[in-house]
Structure 1
Amino acid sequence: MKKWILSMGVLFMLYGCGSVPLTGRKQLLLVSDQEVLSASLTQYSDYMKTAKKSTSTKDASMVTRVGKKIAAATEAYLKQNGLESEIQNFSWEFNLVKDDQVNAFCMPGGKIVVYEGLMNLVSSDDELAVVIGHEVAHAVAKHSNERMSQQIVAQYGSAILSAAVANKSAAVQQVAGTVYGLGAQYGVMLPFSRKHETEADYMGLVLMTMAGYNPDVAVGFWQKMSAGSNGKVPEFMSTHPSDATRIADIEKALPSIKAQYGKK
């Protein structure tokens, strides 16, 4: 255990200490943005070749409309906070696909997919903004990079300090198959950790507020999501914090988010 902690500490100091925008949390980032984007784009492209896009023009337009507003707000924030170089990592794309699952995801680079099943629980642009803001937050926070980095450390242990970091392309390709593209069991991506989900909840509320949407709808929407469709809790919620914890955290965060990021 001591060797593990020492290895992690050295890695933070030498190779991959980053900070999450909006929260300031320190994170381990061993993988370059280019490597993450390359690995994820391949999986995303493979997914979209088999996915069937929705024929609902109304719902598809809603996804695009809300997505573009949140993307614009995200880029504006990055520019205003000295993070303009991060914008080059995003090539936004918004798709609604024919799938009855109550789910959505955002791959690194801003590739957002919403399933038709989720739209059955969405009654307004504000409610959809809760979901898209949450998903965009995962990309902005580089949660995929962090998860891939953690997987590399777990797989290589202390050896990462030499061979794996010196030639980590092979390591990245190996763990990419663990993080992305695991087939029907997980869909296009493995679920994020609860820590990442909680962080994405907060950041998503901020991003949707910056975009001009009403974050107050989040509490009611997550309650509706937790009830699920036909009494079944959606896959989207399966690794998230408990309903009571999530709602309590959101209610606690809302006043300061609206005061700091709401339209004046």
Structure 2
Amino acid sequence: MKKTLIALTALTLLGGCQLTKSPTGRTQALMYSNADMSNLGAQSFDEMKKKEKIVTDPRVNNYVGCIANAITASVDNSYGVNEWEVIVFDSPQINAFALPGGHIGVYTGLMNVAKNADQLAAVMGHEVGHVLANHSNERLSRNKFTSMGMQVANGAFDLAGIENKKIYMQGLGLGAQYGVAMPFGRKQESESDKIGLDLMAKAGFKPEASVSLWQAMAKASGGNQPMEFLSTHPSNERRINDLTKNMSAANALYTQAVSAGKRPNCKL
């Protein structure tokens, strides 16, 4: 009987899957709608804004907003985001994130490592790439399938009432303690690197800055990064090598953008 129930549950979950392709052509099985993910992203971001210290300096906000607007300008309307909300959080963490529904968070600590707009665009493009590739949906769908006994979530995703809040927050790439980002899988991270590289190039930011950014990130880590097979992130060396392989195509996009007059003047 137990095996039969598990099989029926598996079939039910599979029946709710939608097979789709990521922007790089990778097949994904997604169990949640765009509306569901947008609701979850919006609720999560609202909670973060209540708990995290927000930067109010207009100079900083204009700088980060300028980069975000340039990056997201080329995002197709089919993703259902008409306007991206951008918030700078006052925190020493060297991090940033983007959530479904069009929400971007940047920590001031990152701005101490990303020394210019091109480098910051590399990180923000990468994070937006996670959203465009439905990585949160993909991870939540995998979590839902592998944990057969998990309560089926309602479309509204009432974060105040669900028992498995931690699972949903991790699916979005957020830790139980807000501000602590949970890494996506290595395959997803590498995919976002490629998408982000193209996004920044199309926006008129120098693609080579992505390499110098990750070199700076490696230096900031103080050599404490775990070996690649022990980490869900690609190693800094692997990441830089992959970016370098895709640099020629990105530079072609950058040249087209500059020829079209796209070279954002984002200054702090």
TM range (shorter): 0.7 to 0.9
What is the match of residue 253 of structure 1?
A: 246
Measured at CA, do residues 202 and 140 of structure 1 come closer, stay the same or move farther in structure 2, by a change above 3 Å? same
Aligned with residue 125 of structure 2, among 121, 133, 136: 133
Q: TM-score, normalised by structure 2?
A: 0.78
What is the match of residue 46 of structure 2?
A: 45
- 1:240 matched to 2:241? The reply is no
What is the match of residue 193 of structure 1?
A: 185
- Relative to structure 2, which stretch is displaced further, 55-64 or 131-140? 55-64
> Contact (CA 8 Å) 1:93, 1:110: kept in 2 or not?
yes
State the shift of 1:89 in Å: 3.8
Q: Counterparts of 2:31 and 2:64 in 1: how far apart (Å)?
A: 33
> Which structure has more helix as a fraction of its residues?
1
Q: Counterparts of 2:134 and 2:27 in 1: how far apart (Å)?
A: 11
Measured at CA, do residues 214 and 115 of structure 1 come closer, stay the same or move farther in structure 2, by a change above 3 Å? same
Identity of aligned residues (%): 35
What is the match of residue 81 of structure 1?
A: none
**CA deviation string 1:80-112 (max 9, x = no partner):** xxxx432x2454011111101111111111211
**Gapped regions of structure 1 (runs ≥ 5):** 79-83
SS of aligned partner of 2:250? helix
Q: How many residues are treated as equivalent by the alignment?
A: 238
What is the match of residue 65 of structure 1?
A: 66
What is the match of residue 154 of structure 2?
A: 169
> Contact (CA 8 Å) 1:90, 1:109: kept in 2 or not?
no
State the shift of 1:54 in Å: 1.7
SS of aligned partner of 2:182? coil
**Gapped regions of structure 2 (runs ≥ 5):** 1-5, 260-268
> Contact (CA 8 Å) 2:39, 2:101: kept in 1 or not?
no
Measured at CA, do residues 206 and 175 of structure 1 come closer, stay the same or move farther in structure 2, by a change above 3 Å? farther
State the shift of 1:256 in Å: 2.0
Once the two structures are superposed, the pairs formed by residues 156-235 of structure 1 within 5 Å of their partners are: 156=148, 169=154, 177-180=166-169, 182-184=175-177, 187=179, 189-228=181-220, 231=222
What is the match of residue 22 of structure 2?
A: 20
Measured at CA, do residues 182 and 15 of structure 1 come closer, stay the same or move farther in structure 2, by a change above 3 Å? same
Q: Counterparts of 1:55 and 1:85 in 2: how far apart (Å)?
A: 32
State the shift of 1:239 in Å: 3.9
